[in-house]
Structure 1
Amino acid sequence: MKKETEVMHWADQAAEQIIRRNPGKKEYVVATGATPSGTLHIGNFREFIMGDFIAKALKHQGKNATHYHYWDDYDVFRKVPVNMPKADVLKKHLRQALVNVPDVVDDKHKNYAEHCEEEFEKLLPIVGLSPTIIRNSEQYMKCVLAEQIKVALENTDKIKDILNKFRRENIKEGWLPISIYDEETGFEAEEMEYVGGYEARYKDQKGEWKSFDFRKKGLLKLKYRIQVPAFWDYKGVDFESAGKDHYVAGGVFATAALMAKEVYGIEKALGFGFGWIGIKGGKQFSSSKGIIFTLKDVLEVYEPSIVRYIFAGSRPAAEFAISFDLDVLKVYEDFDKCERIYFKEEKAEEKDFEKQKRIYELSSVDVPKKMPFQPGFRHLTTVLQVYEKDVKKAAEFFEEFLKTKEDKERFDVKCKCVLNWLEKYAPEEFKFSVQEKVAEGLNLDKKQKDALHKAAEVLKGKVKDDKELHERFYDICKELDLKVGEFFKAAYLVLINKERGPRLASFILTLGKKRVVELFGKV
């Protein structure tokens, strides 16, 4: 194990803590969970990815580890999300188990819960996640938690005492730590009793009491607060995290820790509360108004490994915003720098090297064997627009660099991200269309025209690179006593009919000297 003075990623620190607590365990268990009661947003993904990091950190230390993800699809459906269609149909199914609510969105799934799960689940392999999926409806219907349920019911008073410590008003008499679904209607029963042993009963809609053995009939589920420690006991969970609100006094995981010890006689699962995620650029994030950003939305702008990088490079408790504005460029540049440091293509102090190396390992869906080609995001915004957003032509422009199948695949993904960003989020100054001819009525003075003619002559000759070309432009302005800004303005107006645009020298070389000479010559 590393010394405390050495650089260690927070996932590795958590893994060491897990191992120290139970060093002889054959397999360590990391758990995550979510309720598929609506569209899952990028905040939900933070729990998934944190579980993945911890499981990978345990494996990195040579341990067997399993990442279980629980879908709480047997939860009671209590509220219709505002962004869902056919709200009137969904309202009729309130107080039923989510797994019994019909798929009103596209009618392609067994139920509403499965629809919400599937649209999220199918993206997980893309970002390198492969948790073992457990649907709680199946667990409860198979009655595998009968022992944990029995223990909870026998300790109802103890559970109430724990919860009452954090409540202004005590829980009412007759409360039980369970929900029961009417066998005929599927709705949550309003009155229920624990008879004893493995027997419970509920009052059906006719007012008649119905008894059942919960080892044989899966009509019963634990309430969320007690379900958490019950699953820790059932699966031997070592680590599970949740949003930071669950860790405040009286929060779900704060009370779960007490129940784990006092009800189930086990140690609590290790974990930490993670901070909220905001959005920078695009519409304002508001779950209550149905304005959310999903993993799919983020993958439209960021490559899969960069999605992982955003989370791997942030400490769990940190609150941060995922950028859709100009900061997208910086995120890509930061990841590219991290990658160069990993492959020792860029120097870094030893401490920073170790830090960036581990972040890159956790970020990469698949760590490349050698340094990949890195077309800059900013540069691609120019190249793709020069070639009228044709990815195939853009690939031909970079042909000499795209030598491997992996480079070509990554290039295609990055181009799609650039095009999505240009279409949905990029500021207007980043968008342009190269002119076929000089725009009519263009008002340029004699000095500006002379400067463009001289620039055309320069472009007819040999130019080593964009730096040299940039310097030649400054020489022209000095010779004609023309302000540099006026020259740049004239060039952009001729090339893209806008007063500002991409960095001029590199833009012209990307566009092609011949094409620019023709346009400047027509002024």
Structure 2
Amino acid sequence: MERKPHHVHWADITADRIIKQRGDKDEYVLASGITPSGVVHFGNFREVITTELVARALRDRGKKVRFIFSWDDYDTFRKVPANLPNKEELEKYMFRPIVDTPDPYGKEESYAALHEVNFEAQLKKVGVDLEPVYQAKKYRAGDYKEQIKLALKKRKEIRDILNEYRKTPYGDEYYPVSVYCEKYLTDETTVIDFDGENTITYKHNKHDYEAKINLDETSLVKLPWRIDWPMRWAYEKVDFEPGGKDHSSQGGSYTTAKDIVKIFDWQAPVYLQYDFVSIKGLGGKMSSSKGNLITVDDILKVYEPEMVRWIFASYKSNVDFAISFDLDVLKTYEDFDRQERLAYGVDQGNEKKTNMAKRVLELSQLSEQPTKCPIQPSFRHLCNILQINDMDIVAAKKEYASQILDERDERRFNERSERAIYWIENHAPDEFKFRINKEKVETPISDDVRNYLNELVSFLESNFDNLKDDKELHEKMYEIMHAHELKPVDIFGPIYQLLISREKGPKLAGFIRTIGKDRVIKLLS
């Protein structure tokens, strides 16, 4: 497919803005991050994919990009999520660093690592390549020692910036750090003095304990989020980082970070707000405390990897949207296939829509884009084919044998089939599901309908193999129906009962042809 410099997508517009505002550089640093306090859900993925799409746009412009992802695993473990084993054991680690909290499943070296390893593996499945930065290691290596000292020396300036947006202002007691107690290990502490050089005095809030620690000799001191974020912008020389609605509101963490970063002798990176993403068709609101979060892996059970990228790339970053698990899954697949055909020139559209379809599809690829449009088995029809073949992908593939021309077609068919099966078994409405009866079923049928069926069976025995298309069979069924002075309501219900023991089903003429001559005649006779 022809490739040109792009300026149509929001990722391209943002890349151009970064180059313009930050100047022509050898390398641009893009950042994203999260605290691994629980399962990393697909809503967090929007921040990552937003950054990754901008990184791709920069690379398409011949720019070198460093995409860092900060795991804030030196944050405090503040809540035990629901649906976890060994809760009593986890509660012993409340208010200690997440990185020191054990994995309740015993798989990884820590609770933090459990979520880090899982999310990083999920990102690889959707083609996201980044450089993870583990903040606990950075703090414990003393990498931020001088920045912590600087924040303490500039504490009144930082306090005044924060107070501009606080209902209850901080007083002279404010210190821009938290301390993990060396004796009780938690951050339930209060700093009561800084000597102006390198020594902090703190006390534990729940125990009669007070101590001094030397900043040059300890790693127990950490900057809180509103100071830590801009400090890392300066430390990593970040050029771009997006933020959610919560950070972007007036007085939010981005508002204060823009000023605090100047204390660390840097400027706020180019910023892009992204909106929230929701789920449609699962019922109930996602909640960390309830443990019913949806992950990227969950999305991948229903949508192909390229489609997951395509869904996020299709919406402007500041537009909220929902990912469907209900019947709208069919529409999402139809929309994707339509846009893919438009991008490849299979379908025609105006220049603006075609260029956008091409660019979104490029940004959706896991690797090199195919030169021709891959096979597009209609998701709706594929669901029917799979159910007719008792969910046997190999058997269902025979229906598409002439369309599967290469390895990419093979992967598309297999991935789409696996997702269709999962969706049918877990999310499709009951009226969408069926199984072809193995043997004839007994169902009350009037003499008029039985005569109709006998004539239909006779026609199928003689003409099934010569039918040109579904329309020909459909018209013949109606011709016989009118000859017997019957109505659609008289015949369709009984036929579906005989075939699948349901009142309704897929469009009947095509359904009969897909089931096959022998099975249909056996069940209708």
Q: Does 2:501 correspond to 1:497?
A: yes
Q: Which amino acid counterpart does residue 43 of structure 1 have in structure 2?
A: G
Q: Which amino acid counterpart does residue 319 of structure 1 have in structure 2?
A: D
RMSD: 1.8
Q: Does 2:45 correspond to 1:45?
A: yes
Check the 8 A contact 1:285/1:293 in 2, yes or no: no
Check the 8 A contact 1:103/1:111 in 2, yes or no: yes
Q: Does 2:83 correspond to 1:83?
A: yes
Q: Does 2:459 correspond to 1:458?
A: yes
Find the aligned partners of 1:208 and 1:177 in 2 and give their Cα distance.
19
- SS of the aligned residue for 1:196 comes to coil
Check the 8 A contact 2:33/2:72 in 1, yes or no: yes
Find the aligned partners of 1:72 and 1:318 in 2 and give their Cα distance.
27
Q: Does 2:482 correspond to 1:478?
A: yes
Per the alignment, residue 66 of structure 2 pairs with: 66
Find the aligned partners of 1:325 and 1:347 in 2 and give their Cα distance.
30
Task: Write the mapping of 1:85-484 to structure 2, written as runs, cut at 5 A.
Answer: 85-104=85-104, 106-188=105-187, 190-192=189-191, 193-203=193-203, 207-214=209-216, 216-261=217-262, 263-287=263-287, 288-366=289-367, 367-440=369-442, 442-460=443-461, 461=463, 462-484=466-488
How far residue 206 of structure 1 moved from its aligned partner, in angstroms, is 6.5
Find the aligned partners of 1:78 and 1:463 in 2 and give their Cα distance.
67
Q: Normalising by structure 1, what TM-score?
A: 0.94
- SS of the aligned residue for 2:122 comes to coil
How far residue 201 of structure 1 moved from its aligned partner, in angstroms, is 4.2
Find the aligned partners of 1:236 and 1:260 in 2 and give their Cα distance.
11
Residues 90-147 of structure 1: CA deviation (Å, up to 9, x unaligned): 221111110011111x111111111111122111111111111111111111111223
Q: Which amino acid counterpart does residue 151 of structure 2 have in structure 1?
A: A
- SS of the aligned residue for 2:318 comes to coil
Check the 8 A contact 2:163/2:170 in 1, yes or no: yes
How far residue 232 of structure 1 moved from its aligned partner, in angstroms, is 0.8
Check the 8 A contact 1:49/1:311 in 2, yes or no: yes
Check the 8 A contact 1:189/1:202 in 2, yes or no: no
Out of 198-207 and 371-380, give the one that drifted further. Answer: 198-207
Q: 1:483 to 1:97 in 2, by over 3 A?
A: same
Per the alignment, residue 3 of structure 2 pairs with: none
Check the 8 A contact 2:299/2:308 in 1, yes or no: yes
Find the aligned partners of 1:282 and 1:474 in 2 and give their Cα distance.
40
% identical aligned pairs: 39
Check the 8 A contact 2:7/2:13 in 1, yes or no: no
Where does the alignment leave 5 or more consecutive residues of structure 1 unmatched? 1-5
Find the aligned partners of 1:482 and 1:26 in 2 and give their Cα distance.
77
Find the aligned partners of 2:332 and 2:431 in 1 and give their Cα distance.
19
Find the aligned partners of 2:501 and 2:54 in 1 and give their Cα distance.
52
Find the aligned partners of 2:194 and 2:451 in 1 and give their Cα distance.
93
Q: Which amino acid counterpart does residue 477 of structure 1 have in structure 2?
A: M
Q: 1:388 to 1:489 in 2, by over 3 A?
A: same
Out of 392-401 and 14-23, give the one that drifted further. Answer: 392-401
Where does the alignment leave 5 or more consecutive residues of structure 2 unmatched? 1-5
Find the aligned partners of 1:83 and 1:315 in 2 and give their Cα distance.
35
Check the 8 A contact 2:180/2:189 in 1, yes or no: no
Q: 1:275 to 1:83 in 2, by over 3 A?
A: farther
How far residue 42 of structure 1 moved from its aligned partner, in angstroms, is 1.2
How far residue 77 of structure 1 moved from its aligned partner, in angstroms, is 1.3
- SS of the aligned residue for 2:270 comes to coil
Find the aligned partners of 1:502 and 1:405 in 2 and give their Cα distance.
30
- SS of the aligned residue for 1:272 comes to strand
Residues 324-370 of structure 1: CA deviation (Å, up to 9, x unaligned): 00000000111111111111111111111001111111122232232
- SS of the aligned residue for 2:468 comes to coil
Q: 1:208 to 1:7 in 2, by over 3 A?
A: closer
Find the aligned partners of 1:448 and 1:199 in 2 and give their Cα distance.
94
- SS of the aligned residue for 2:412 comes to helix
Find the aligned partners of 1:494 and 1:510 in 2 and give their Cα distance.
16
Per the alignment, residue 3 of structure 1 pairs with: none
Residues 193-223 of structure 1: CA deviation (Å, up to 9, x unaligned): 3333344344466624232234x53222211
